Structure 1
Amino acid sequence: MLHIEDLATAPEGFLPDEPEGAEFYQAFQTARLDDFSFGYFAVYRDSALVTVAPYFVMDFRLNTLLPNGWLKRSLSWIRFKLACIGHPTVDAGRIQGEVSQETLAAISTALAKKGSLLAYKGFAEDLPLRGFVAAKGLPVPVLSIGPDYYQAMKSDRRNLLKRKLKKAAALRYEECAGLPDHLVAKVHALYLNTWQKAELKFEKLTPEYFANTRSLSHYLLYFLDDELIGFTQLIGKGRHLVNRYIGLDYARSHEYGLYFAMFIRTVEFGIREGFEEIELGATSYEFKRILGARQIPTWNHYRHNNVLVNWMLGKLRGVLEPSESELR
Structure 2
Amino acid sequence: MESPHHYKIHTSTQDIHVNWNELTKSNLFLSKDYLLTLEKSAPQNMNCYYISLFENNKLVGIALAQFLDLNKLSSFGERDKCIKKSIRNVVFRNFCSHVLFIGNNMLTGQNAFQFHASLDAKIGVELLQAAAEEIKKTLKKKGIKVHITTFKDFNKTESTPFSIPVFQTYYRFSTQPNMVFKVNPNWHTFDDYVSALSKKYRDQYKRSRKKAEGIHKQKMNLDDILAHEETIYTLYFHVAQNAPFNTFFLPKNHFSELKKNLKDLFLFYGYFEDDKLIGFNTLIKNGNQMDTYFLGYDETIQREKMLYLNMLYDMIAYSINNGFKEIIFARTALEIKSSVGAKPEEMFGFIQHSNALINSKMDKLFCYLEPKTEWQERNPFK
**TM-score, normalization by structure 2:** 0.78
Does 2:39 align with 1:29?
Answer: yes
- Name the stretch that deviates more: 227-236 or 277-286: 277-286
Q: Check 1:178–1:266 CA distance in 2 against 1; reply closer, same or farther (3 A cut).
A: farther
CA contact (8 A) 1:199 1:326 kept: no
Alignment check: 8 A CA contact 1:83 1:117 kept: yes
Q: Give the stretch that moved more between structures: 82-91 or 109-118.
A: 109-118
Q: Which residue of 1 aligns with 2:139?
A: none
Aligned partner (choices 287, 293, 304) of residue 238 of structure 1: 287
How far the C-alpha of 1:68 sits from its partner, in A, is 4.5
Task: Count residues with an aligned counterpart.
Answer: 327
CA contact (8 A) 2:107 2:330 kept: no
* Alpha-carbon separation, structure 2, partners of 1:228 and 1:273: 26
Which of 200, 207, 220 is the equivalent residue of 1:156? 200
Quick check: 1:305 aligned with 2:305?
no
Match of 1:123 in 2: 154
Question: CA shift at 1:118, angstroms?
Answer: 1.1
CA shift, 1:87, in A, is 0.8
Asked if 1:4 is matched to 2:7, the reply is yes
| Structure with greater helix share of residues | 2
Q: CA contact under 8 A between 2:30 and 2:64: conserved in structure 1?
A: no
SS in 2 for 1:186: helix
5+ residue gaps, structure 1, are none
For residue 48 of structure 2, the aligned residue among 35, 38, 44 is 38
Deviates more, 1:43-52 or 1:222-231: 43-52
The answer for the alignment partner of 2:104 in structure 1 is 87
Contact 1:168 1:256 in 2 (8 A): yes
Supply the distance in 2 between the matched residues of 1:179 and 1:232 (Cα, whole angstroms): 17
Q: TM-score, normalised by structure 1?
A: 0.90
Amino acid at match of 1:134: R
2:141 corresponds to which residue?
none
1:69 corresponding residue in structure 2: 82
**Structure 1 residue 45, shift from structure 2 partner:** 2.0
> What percentage of aligned pairs have identical amino acids?
21
Superposed displacement of residue 177, structure 1: 4.8
Does the CA contact (< 8 Å) of 1:82 and 1:118 recur in 2? Answer: yes
Of the three residues 282, 286, 311, the one matched with 2:331 is: 282
Where does 1:70-219 land on structure 2 (aligned, <5 Å)?
70-75=83-88, 76=90, 77-80=93-96, 81-94=98-111, 95-97=113-115, 98=119, 100-113=121-134, 114=136, 115-124=146-155, 126-127=159-160, 128=162, 129-145=167-183, 146-147=187-188, 148-178=192-222, 180=224, 181-214=226-259, 215=263, 216-219=265-268
Change (3 A) 1:203 1:185: same
Query: In angstroms, what is the RMSD of aligned CA positions?
Result: 2.5
What is the DSSP-based 3-state SS (H/G/I as helix, E as strand, rest coil) of the residue aligned with 2:247? Answer: coil
Change (3 A) 1:284 1:315: closer
**Between structures 1 and 2, the one with greater strand share:** 1
Deviation at 1:179, TM superposition (A): 5.7
Q: Which residue number corresponds to residue 307 of structure 2?
A: 258
Alignment of 1:20 onto 2:29? yes
